[in-house]
Amino acid sequence: MRPIETSTSDFADLRRNGTIYVDKTAWFHRLASDMGRKICFLSRPRRFGKSLMITALKEIFSGNRELFDGLAISKTDWKWEKWPVIHFNFGDADPTSVEAFDRDFGPNVRRRLESAGFEGYDDARSPGFNFGNAIDVLSKENGGRGVVILIDEYDAPVSHALSDLPRAEAIRDRLSAFYSVMKDRTGSIRFMMMTGVSKFTKMSVFSCLNNIVDISMRREYATMLGYTEEELEANFDEHLHEHASIMGLSYEDYRAEMKRWFNGFRFSPSDPTTVYNPISIALTLDAKETFFRSTWSSTGRASSLMNCLKRWDMLAIDPERTKNVTDQEFDVTNLADLKPIGMLFQTGYLTIKDYDAGLYTLGVPDEEVRQDLNLLMAGVAADESVAWASSLGAKLRGCDWNGFFAGLKSLYAKMAYGSTESSVHENSYARCLSFLLAGSGFRFTMEDVQASGRADIVASHVNGVFIFELKVGEPVDRAFAQIRRKNYAEPYLASGSPIWLIGLSFDPDSRLLVEAAAEPYFTPKKEDRQ
């Protein structure tokens, strides 16, 4: 089997190492050949192949044909001319302070311009002045035909600083001045591609380059990054079959479960095709463990989202189905008033589920993202760490009721309710609990509809079934009475798993969890478990 790359996003290294590359060069050829759309912007979540795309484009415009043998672009009429390529990656800029950014930004720009062949950098002038000068000089040296500019993670310095708005705005202003030098030089630009997680529309690059084309949600580029079902099968067939065998699943069951875990990202309102997160596939098929687990979050989380979550009431968001979302809610014009729905979408925690008459329905892409998001939301709602929230799930799985209820009371005591709420309804308490359950690996149903009523939450795990009934202003014994009277546990007896009934009682004035208890409903005999 050909090896899987997990540690580099450099196209040349990947091809020289002989690792699997899912061929996306037909899209890159279309981009590079379309002179009507020669200045482009693409937004995608982190670790979704943006840097690999940028480095592939760099090699295409550098004329390195040998790296593309056997790929789609090698079968086209591409001329393989060598162009001057200015390649920036601002993911390594230091945003910890404005002073640190200023100190490192100039040398970073100098290195990148010199790598492109520009030899006249003037340390006494601003990075923007030198950038503009480099465009002029390199284009002239290229016979006036222009230069290629590739900017990866253009928004990273601002995103990393969003926890401190004055700092974020100061860095944004510096980057805006830097990008603005392209305004009067579009005639000297043969091709430009800029990528990022978020589209900060007040960045001057969007206001001054009136011919920039945002292809982020264009139908023809919906599957340019990420893997379709067909691409996964064609490129990873041997790895997939081996992993299915290791997991002890039939191939059909294995593929269905893998799709549930990792495929669900949709990037166009007019193309319903969904794709797999490429880093998740690489890490999962490289490790080939006996179970699926969340891998995306192990590579880090979007700093823009982490910095903004602190300011939002997460209980107001239903991540499973957010309806009637307009294009305006994706706007991130004002750093001080970022839209939570837009940021969750752009960072990959929400994706398009449906689109009709200008309105989007958004939801969580897949199980991997669901677990990570719900742990984040549980932790943020209670101002606690993700690790602490995860430990509560472990206590529930182990039926450590003293530890679970103590932690749950702490969670609700610190829960960040919206400042404008006059009262907190039962579903707000339930939603916070659902975040915790989903993030800890439980499958659950809120308001589980049955013949005789609706159970508040039914959660299942290999350890058992847990039926929750929540009461506000009523004692916990009424929760148990309702569960038994309406036979909420009856549909789950056939599973043969242990069944626990859990009652939670909240005080409507203090908003605290004041009483909690668990009762066993069904415990299988020892011989039944064998």
The answer to whether residues 194 and 85 belong to one domain is yes
Residues 93 and 109 in one domain: yes
**Looking at the domain assignment, is residue 376 inside a domain?**
no
On whether both 234 and 190 belong to a single domain, the answer is no
Contact assessment for residue 436 and residue 393, using Cβ atoms and an 8 Å cutoff = yes
Query: Do 441 and 343 reside in the same domain of the chain?
Result: no
Q: What is the per-residue pLDDT for 32?
A: 94
Say yes or no: 390 and 347 in one domain.
Answer: no
Q: Please indicate, yes or no, if residue 190 is contained in any of the structural domains.
A: yes
Please give the C-alpha separations between residue 270 and each of 101, 355, 444, in angstroms, as whole numbers.
40, 8, 31
Question: Per residue in 391-441, pLDDT tens?
Answer: 888 899 899 999 999 988 887 887 655 434 444 456 678 877 887 887 777
Residues 133, 265: one domain? no
What are the beta bridge partners of residue 85? 148
Q: For position 201, which CATH number holds?
A: 3.40.50
| pLDDT in the model for residue 530 | 46
CA dist 200 → 41, 90, 92, 336, 351 (Å) = 12, 15, 19, 12, 19
Tokens linked to 517: 């208890």
Classified as helix, coil or strand, 96 is coil
Domain boundary among 269, 298, 327: 298
pTM above 0.75, yes or no: yes
CATH number of the domain residue 478 falls in: 3.40.1350
CA-angle at 24, arms to 23 and 26, nearest 5°: 105
- Other Cβ atoms less than 10 A from the Cβ of 133: the count is 17
* Domain membership flag for residue 373: no
Nearest CA to 199 out of 347, 38, 363, 88 is that of: 347
> What is the domain range of residue 337?
301-367
Residues 255 and 313 in one domain: no
Both 130 and 182 in one domain: the answer is yes
Domain count for the chain, please give it. Answer: 4
End position of a domain, from candidates 298, 319, 354: 298
Q: Given this model, what pLDDT does residue 81 score?
A: 95
Q: Which of 248, 323, 335 lies closest to 292, judged by CA? A: 248
Residue at a domain's end among 195, 216, 237: 216
Whether the Cβ atoms of residue 99 and residue 81 lie closer than 8 Å to each other? no
pLDDT at 421: 43
**Measured between alpha carbons, how far is 191 from 194 in angstroms, rounded to an integer?**
10
Per-residue pLDDT tens digits for 262-299: 999 999 999 999 999 999 999 999 999 999 988 876 66
CA angle centred on 508, ends 506 and 511, rounded to 5°: 65
Q: Residues 36, 40, 43, 44: is their CA dihedral positive or negative? A: positive
CA triplet 408, 410, 416: central angle to 5 degrees? 100
Q: How many CB atoms lie within 10 A of CB 25?
A: 22
Distance CA 277, CA 296 (A): 8
Mean pLDDT per 10-residue interval, the chain, length 530 residues: 91 95 97 87 92 97 97 96 96 90 94 96 96 97 96 89 88 90 92 88 67 91 97 98 97 96 96 96 96 78 62 64 86 73 88 94 92 73 62 89 91 61 60 78 80 84 91 93 92 91 91 93 67
For 163, phi then psi, to 5°, come to: -70, -15
* C-beta separation of 258 from 242 below 8 A: no
Neighbours of 358 (CB within 10 A): 9
Q: Is residue 103 part of a domain?
A: yes
Could you tell me if 396 and 518 lie in one domain?
yes
Asked if the structure places residue 319 within a domain, the reply is yes
Q: Please tell me the number of Cα atoms within 13 Å of 264 on its side-chain side.
A: 23
524 lies in the same domain as 442: yes
The answer as to whether 507 is a domain residue is yes
- Residue 422 is predicted with a pLDDT of 42
Buried b (16+ CB within 10 A) or exposed e, 42-70: bbbbbbbbbbbbbbbbbbbbbeeeebbee
Answer yes or no: is 37 within a domain.
yes
Report yes or no on 460 lying in a domain: yes
Quick one: pLDDT at residue 419? 38
Residues 306 and 409 placed together within one structural domain of the fold: no
Q: Are residues 260 and 408 in the same domain?
A: no
